[in-house]
Amino acid sequence: MGSTASSPVSWQTAMKRAIRSSVTLRQMLGLDAETAPGAERDFPTFVPLEYFSRIRPRDPDDPLLKQVLPIAAEDKVQTDGFSSDPVGDMGSLVAGGLLHKYHGRALVVTTGACGVHCRYCFRRQFPYHDVGSQSDDYRPAIDYLRSATELDEVILSGGDPLTLVDQKIDRLMSELEAIPHLRRVRFHTRMPIVIPQRITDQLIDRLRQSRLTTWFVVHANHAAELDDAVLSRLAMLIDAGIPVLNQAVLLRGVNDDAEILASLCTRLVNHRVMPYYLHQLDRVTGAAHFEVDEAVGRALIAELQKRLPGYAVPTYVVEQAGEASKTRIR
């Protein structure tokens, strides 16, 4: 299953031609050739051209650029309260690539591959190879899901589950559909935002055939990420009866402004995507420069509540290791 007729290239080609060097990224944008070798060594640059095309040239403060450009601040000495596993993933592993944190649902880390490397990624140091998420063998996860009859929902995450080819998604979906107590499957994905042509008629047809109710949770942080190509692919999902929610991360210098957040939320609801969560930054090592104080976040939510209808205001949350759910920040 490849791209649709309107796509300039297939999504696989988009992955292959992505920008993989901060030097190249800066040169293509007309910026000074600064480097952050430590940051890039620890977490390489990966920016698809589809996303790059939305970044303003010659603007080092562009909010999309800030999300993907390695900078020297990532190399700073360990910051108090920041760690390689800020949400306690490793303590929740119960089988190969399977996390069971919350009642009624479990999460499969399907792959370590992503369509973009976001510099604030809370799994930027996740040991994908060690936990089996780089293999094609989901048997340990499937066996656990089959035995855990209290579960009714599976979250497919990563990395990004939509970097899997359709044949692997089909095989994984078939395995999940054969587990009688499962009712829903949820895709946590940034691919529709960064490489929108990943959403194809063929993929949608497979998901529509499933006995499992399918939900998509996408990840956009700024209205500038939502161009016409992205919105048209999100509409394909929604028109097919697949609900689409958005979760954003509150990021200093990117969206820590009421007007910016209001624009994002308005653009989402205008195109039938529900603002779901606004996440406080997960305190992963290397991302401290993105952190916004919770008091600022609360004030931003209060301002959104004044400006927008209730359904357009995301829930402000933080994920804390060991807790039974995400914690709402009030």
**204 located within any domain:** yes
Residue 26 shares a structural domain with residue 163: no
On the CB side of 300, CA atoms within 13 Å amount to: 28
CA–CA separation, 119 vs 297, rounded Å? 20
Q: What is the pLDDT of residue 172?
A: 97
Lowest mean pLDDT among 111-115, 133-137, 183-187, 276-280: 133-137
At 298-329, the pLDDT tens digits run: 999 999 999 999 999 999 999 998 888 999 99
Residue 50 shares a structural domain with residue 151: no
At 92-122, the pLDDT tens digits run: 999 989 999 999 999 999 999 999 999 999 9
| Domain end among 75, 103, 130 | 75
Burial (CB < 10 A; 0-12, 13-18, 19+), residue 98, is buried
**261 located within any domain:** yes
Residue 46 shares a structural domain with residue 95: no
CA–CA separation, 75 vs 78, rounded Å? 9
pLDDT level of residue 232 (50, 70, 90 thresholds): very high
Total of domains in the chain: 2
**82 located within any domain:** no
User: Does the structure show a pLDDT above 50 at 167?
Assistant: yes
**96 located within any domain:** yes
CA–CA separation, 139 vs 145, rounded Å? 10
63-to-9, 36, 118, 217, 301 alpha-carbon distances in Å: 26, 19, 12, 21, 20
CA–CA separation, 25 vs 107, rounded Å? 33
Q: Find the mean pLDDT for residues 22-31.
A: 96
| Residues contributing to the annotated binding site for [4Fe-4S] cluster | 114, 118, 121
Mean of per-residue pLDDT scores for the chain:
94
Q: What is the DSSP string of 135-146?
A: SS--HHHHHHHH
Give the DSSP letter of residue 94: E
**174 located within any domain:** yes
Q: What is the pLDDT of residue 159?
A: 94
Percent pLDDT > 90 in the chain is 83
- Supply the CATH number for residue 102's domain: 3.20.20.70
Do you know the residue count of the chain? 330
User: Does the structure show a pLDDT above 60 at 7?
Assistant: no
CA–CA separation, 48 vs 116, rounded Å? 7
Residue 132 shares a structural domain with residue 252: yes
Residue 166 shares a structural domain with residue 303: yes
Residue 50 shares a structural domain with residue 102: no
| Residues contributing to the annotated binding site | 114, 118, 121
Residue 68 shares a structural domain with residue 95: no
| Domain end among 51, 75, 99 | 75
Q: Find the mean pLDDT for residues 60-83.
A: 90
Q: How far is CA 159 from the centre of its chain?
A: 8
**233 located within any domain:** yes
User: Does the structure show a pLDDT above 50 at 225?
Assistant: yes
Phi/psi at 269 (nearest 5 deg)?
A: -70, -30
**84 located within any domain:** no
User: Does the structure show a pLDDT above 90 at 8?
Assistant: no
Residue 193 shares a structural domain with residue 311: yes
| Element housing 235 (H / E) | helix 228-239
The structure tokens listed for 190 are 């940034």
**6 located within any domain:** no
| Domain end among 26, 44, 75 | 75
Residue in 49, 41, 29, 30 with CA at minimum distance from that of residue 74: 41
Residue 135 shares a structural domain with residue 280: yes
CA–CA separation, 40 vs 26, rounded Å? 13
CA–CA separation, 63 vs 180, rounded Å? 44
Residue 145 shares a structural domain with residue 268: yes
Q: In what order do the strands lie in the sheet with 213-218?
A: 93-95, 98-99, 105-109, 153-157, 184-189, 213-218, 244-249, 274-279, 315-318, 327-328
Task: Indicate the residue type of 299.
Answer: A
Tell me the pairing of strands 274-279 and 315-318: parallel
Q: What is the pLDDT of residue 6?
A: 45
* Burial annotation 196-208 (CB, 10 A radius, 16+ → b, else e): bbbbbeebbebbe
* pTM across the whole model: 0.94
Q: Find the mean pLDDT for residues 163-182.
A: 98
**Residue 200 · residue 171 · CB < 8 Å:** no
Residue in 182, 232, 177, 181 with CA at minimum distance from that of residue 209: 177
User: Does the structure show a pLDDT above 90 at 33?
Assistant: no
Range of the domain at 299: 90-328
At 124-165, the pLDDT tens digits run: 888 887 766 556 789 999 999 999 999 999 999 999 999 999
Q: What is the pLDDT of residue 134?
A: 55
Lowest mean pLDDT among 39-53, 117-131, 218-232, 265-279: 117-131
Residue 117 shares a structural domain with residue 211: yes
Residue 213 shares a structural domain with residue 275: yes
Q: What is the pLDDT of residue 249?
A: 99
Q: Which residues contact 245 (CB under 8 A, 6 or more apart)?
A: 215, 216, 217, 218, 273, 274, 275, 276
User: Does the structure show a pLDDT above 50 at 192?
Assistant: yes
